[in-house]
Copies of this chain bind each other. A is one copy, B any other.
Amino acid sequence: MFCIRACSGLVGCRTATRVRSLHSLPGITVAQIDEEVAKLLQLKAQLGGDDGKHQFVLKTAKGTRDYNPKQMAIREKVFNTIIGCFKRHGAETIDTPVFELKETLTGKYGEDSKLIYDLKDQGGELLSLRYDLTVPFARYLAMNKITNIKRYHIAKVYRRDNPAMTRGRYREFYQCDFDIAGQYDAMIPDAECLKIVHEILSELDLGDFRIKVNDRRILDGMFAVCGVPDDKFRTICSTVDKLDKLPWEEVKKEMVNEKGLSEEAADQIGEYVSMQGGMDLAERLLQDQKMSQSKQACAGLSDIKLLFSYLQLFQVTDKVVFDLSLARGLDYYTGIIYEAVLTQAGVAPVTTDAQNGAPSEESVSVGSVAGGGRYDGLVGMFDPKGRKVPCVGVSIGIERVFSIMEQKAEASAEKVRTTEVQVMVASAQKNLLEEKLKLITELWNAGIKAEVMYKKNPKLLSQLQHCEESGIPLVAILGEQELKDGVVKLRVVATREEVQLIHNTHTVSLITVSTKV
């Protein structure tokens, strides 16, 4: 339809042009016009002929991709690592629909709302595809009046963003979220979220990383003391958020020229957002003449101090840095925010003093792989009585992780297996299909992963080749002699070692044992 649409569009254009030029000619007859129209309609009919042979555009939607079996095998491994960590920390899991009522998403994402996919109004409710898993989570809590839960949710989300697929950015992508909802003592769940990021990124072995931490209240306090008008906090905040991609000079230009901030205010912000450190920086800023004037900022700074004390007990301060340039664009954050970035290979690793957490040098980030923060107001936005449920959570940027793991697999000599088949049931001569099907039935019924070729008389060589190609370790070979002798030959594909098993009720258990060796 797409192709046809484009073509008939062209036809439409050409018609318009031609009719206009005909109009400008004197002496043109209605008959001539009719003839032109008939020709064009015929052309159109040819292009859009209803004979079932439409010329399809064979592609996935822009910004999306299929996963082939190799990618799925990698994806399964990554998910197992991440889910293993979430379960280790006692999380339950939930699932929500891929679309929500449009109103559920309205007013939650600030400037990013334009990236939401809407469904066509086909009668009934107005729906949108979920933009993240956090808003559906908050809706779920409010709807079910849940006041505390520790849950993970792994599912796809949708953003009409400009895809940069080579860098692992898609319009359809997975999010892996872990969130803790409930009224608890300050910074304990927040610290656990960072511990989880640390565990996952270490286990996935993606290379060195750093976790930047800041607090929405420190940002807001900073904006206030730097003289940003109240109504510009959010928009200036999303400009600050660009600091991981743009140099300060560009960011400043946007603040002053586009957002109308005074040069002086921008310069003051510039000074703060260059600061990085650990607990010591929080202490220093609590003494800072300007910053200490903001009650909000002080609350945030005290919490950063407390957070770092728990992070020390969790043994993760080596990777965590308090970074005032971290802003995260989403509207709903109210406290601690954080983001994990991989630091480029070859660049000196972040070394931090466990006491103050200051990084020894600036490392170049190659992009965010996890992020999150505290959002104490979001659930209340859904509750009819505005009852708040404090929440903190983290989202793992799994698509980027997939990309890296795929590159690693490609570079490695080891072949990625896409099935788990243990035995191939093969035949050495013709007309043994019936015997093979009987044997494989025994194996399947005993829980053994087994394959047989879907041919009556495959060649032994092609059966063995299939084993080698797909990494099947064992092959059970039936032949006329074996059938006469009442045995099954079991061969180890890699070494070509063979054993004969007496084919009786014990054969299957013997093969079972062999598959476990």
- Say if the beta carbon of A411 comes within 8 Å of chain B: no
Interface status of A496 (Cβ within 8 A of chain B): no
CA distance A62 to B99 in the complex (A): 10
Chain A, residues 426-469, CB within 8 Å of chain B (1/0): the string is: 00000001100110010011011111001110000000000000
A264 within 8 A of B: no
Residues of B within 8 A of A94 (CB): 66-69, 72
Partner pick for A441 among B102, B129, B313, CB 8 A cutoff:
B313
In the bound assembly, the distance between CA atoms of A57 and B143 in angstroms comes to 9
Q: How far is the CA of A72 from the CA of B152 in the complex (A)?
A: 11
Q: Check B117–A1 contact: CB distance below 8 A.
A: no
Q: In the assembled complex, which residues on chain B have CB atoms less than 8 Å from the CB atom of A455?
A: 184-185, 188
Q: A106-B1, A160-B122, A444-B195 are in contact. Are A92 and B418 (CB under 8 A)?
A: yes
The docked-state distance in angstroms from the alpha carbon of A290 to that of B13 is: 57
* Nearest CB of B to A266, in Å: 29
Question: B residues within 8 A CB of A53?
Answer: 386
Cross-chain contact of A59 among B72, B90, B143 (Cβ < 8 A): B143
Cβ of A382 under 8 Å from chain B: yes
Bound-state Cα–Cα, A99 to B384, Å: 34
Within 8 A of B (CB), among A362-386: 381-382, 384, 386
Measured between beta carbons, the chain B residues less than 8 angstroms from A103 are: 1-4, 54, 56-57
> Closest Cβ of chain B: how far from A50's Cβ, in Å?
9
**Given A103-B2, A444-B89, residue A97 in contact with residue B419 (CB < 8 A):** no
Q: Does residue A242 face the partner (Cβ distance < 8 Å to B)? A: no
- In the complex, A195→B140 CA distance in Å? 40
In the complex, what distance in Å separates the CA atom of A451 from the CA atom of B4? 58
Contacts A66-B95, A118-B120, A419-B92 given; indicate if A127 touches B61 (C-beta within 8 A): yes
- Bound Cα distance from A95 to B421, whole angstroms: 20
Is A189 interfacial (CB 8 A cutoff)? yes
Selected from B106, B172, B441, the residue in CB contact (under 8 A) with A98 is B172
Interface string of A75-110 (1 = CB under 8 A from B): 110000000000111111111111111111011000
CB pair A100–B61 under 8 Å, yes or no, is yes
Do the beta carbons of A421 and B185 come within 8 Å of each other? no
For A5, what are the chain B residues with a Cβ–Cβ distance below 8 Å? 126
* Docked complex Cα distance between A151 and B126 (Å): 35
Of all chain B residues, which has the CB nearest A203? Answer: B447
CA distance A190 to B124 in the complex (A): 41
Instruction: Write the nearest CB–CB distance from A478 to chain B, whole angstroms.
Output: 13
Interchain CB contact under 8 A, A69 and B97: no
CB distance from A330 to the nearest CB of B (A): 16
Closest chain-B Cβ to A350's Cβ sits at a distance in Å of: 20
